[in-house]
Structure 1
Amino acid sequence: MIWRNQVKPKEIKDNYSIPQVLQKYIPAGFAGVDKEGSPVFVELYGQYDLRGLIYSAKRIDFEKRWIVNNEGIMDRLAELSVKSDKPIDGITVILDCSGIGLSFLWMPGIELLSHLGKLSQDNYPEIVKKTFIINAPTFFTVLWGIFRKFITDEMAQKISVLGKNYREQLLQYIDVNELPKFLGGNLTDENGDPRCKLMIPQNGKVDEKYYLKEMDISHMQKVTISNGGDFNVKLDIKKIGTILRWEFKTEDYDIAFGITLQDNTKIKHILPLKRVNSHFVPEDGAITCEKVGTYVIKFDNSHSWTRNKILYYNVDYIEPEEEKKENLSEDIDDLNDNFICVKL
């Protein structure tokens, strides 16, 4: 109640216009209802261009869009309750991770999703009655380890990760004619599209014309690399399967970037040095560390003998959390036909 009095979400819903880029490129929407009459919300995690979205909208825009959507859901549930003459007090969510890659672990993107998720459970805790995760990637345990820190026990109990035959499990909750065709049902949009694109936007990467001129780089560190010099970040990786992430931007000119592994006396080139035009758009990426040792992230300016380079960077790593893996009833690599319930 304090939050509602301070933020006034109803006023935001009635007066705020969601930026076109967020309407067009967030791959999520309602498609069908479950067997109890609750709306089914489908979110295509594998189709998110988190970097493009964050470069194209301010944090406050994401928050206000989130408020508009949640207030709209509340109104929708109230209307459905009246029409069906029974309480419809929550939605069913399907998170499809098909196509998701390590780029999804981009630091600002994960932080934003975690922030919005926490806002949801703090201020709309009952709006989601069940969440199904399908097509989980092999690094799902890493993702779960990140998001679990922000999820309450009550919310975690509502989440189920489904195996390869997720269709049969979804059909226990959703009628075949209410499940989108691309998820194994019969539902299409008004155009007969099995992907239901009129309901769930699927427009790929954000067009760079939407990018803001001033991007937020406050989370990055700053260093000046002298002409002909280089700058190295060393990370001691102690667990196989650790995910190493990076993000960087330069002012005005390019920089060469590469990664090597120092294993005892040997040096292995993980990513060969390559010049990157990071002065146009920030560069980011991630790799899975297949060996332990010292990983050296190199920013090289040896090709420039006349110009210093101003570099903004952020480098970190995420270790696999064995205890989180045990909390899933089996290894994500070997998902079978049964439910894989996320347990505490």
Structure 2
Amino acid sequence: MSAAAPHRGTLLLTGGSGMVGSNIREHPRAAEWTILAPGSRELDLTDTAATYDYIQRTQPDIIVHAAGKVGGIQMNMANPVDFLDVNAVIGRNVIMGARAAKIPQMINLASTCIYPRAAPNPLVEDAMLTGPLEPTNEGYSLAKIMALRLCQYIRAETPELLYKTLIPCNLYGRHDTFDPAASHMVPAVIAKLHAAREAGIDTMDIWGDGTARREFMYARDLAGAVLRAAADMEALPDLMNIGVGHDHSVTDYYNAAAKVVGWQGSFEHDLSKPTGMKQKLCDTTRQTDWGWQPQTSLHDGMALTYQFFLERQSA
């Protein structure tokens, strides 16, 4: 970025230490903003009064709401109360705190898990609330739908408040969580394959039959989309998917990770385990009309993520 990059004001980033928040903060376009990214010790987003007070005192020009309790299928199934309650409370506090302080702009980050389990693919934004949700992450999905709807209701009542929602596909990348018991699929696979290679293990289980299809985007690409949106909120649709526009099978992701890690064993399918939705692919028509596409290939993203994993291992 050149030294002449514009300064656009103050951006309050919730979840600044998470994967998405960390990728936003280290993106070159972050230099356009003074970024406030309070950690949980500085600001507990489940504390309504503290959240309202922080937003009122700091008066950011825009809020990017990326905070939340996140995890893979195992964590969602084991902790549905927390995934619903914590995320609903955080979403409500941030969004209503912004409204009370009359913050003019907000980017709320949702997730493609808001779409019905049986919605036809690719998933169009209008498919939300047209059918039952995927049971394995229903609590998290309900909280995200609540926050999304709250932004829409505020925009309808007060059009000058540009509170808009981006719906990213599944993400992976730098600053991801690699604990297989708590992480999403790609980082969990990278960690498991690395451990298998180090231990000389030559077989690896895949949950389900491996045919379920997923769309994963490198988190740095999402960060670029968020910061581009923050720079021109008027042009951003009120609700928009952010994705790569194509998907791969779960087995494909395992094979891609194995190549990057250098593991040469074989996979076995554990048909007793849940696989979630059979397909979850974004419709990217609105994104394309907005003029944006991600730039990182699956192989390159996997390689950069594995490099980060190794750096963290050696730290």
TM-score, length basis structure 2: 0.30
Larger proportion of helix: 2
Higher CA-based Rg: 1
TM-score, length basis structure 1: 0.28
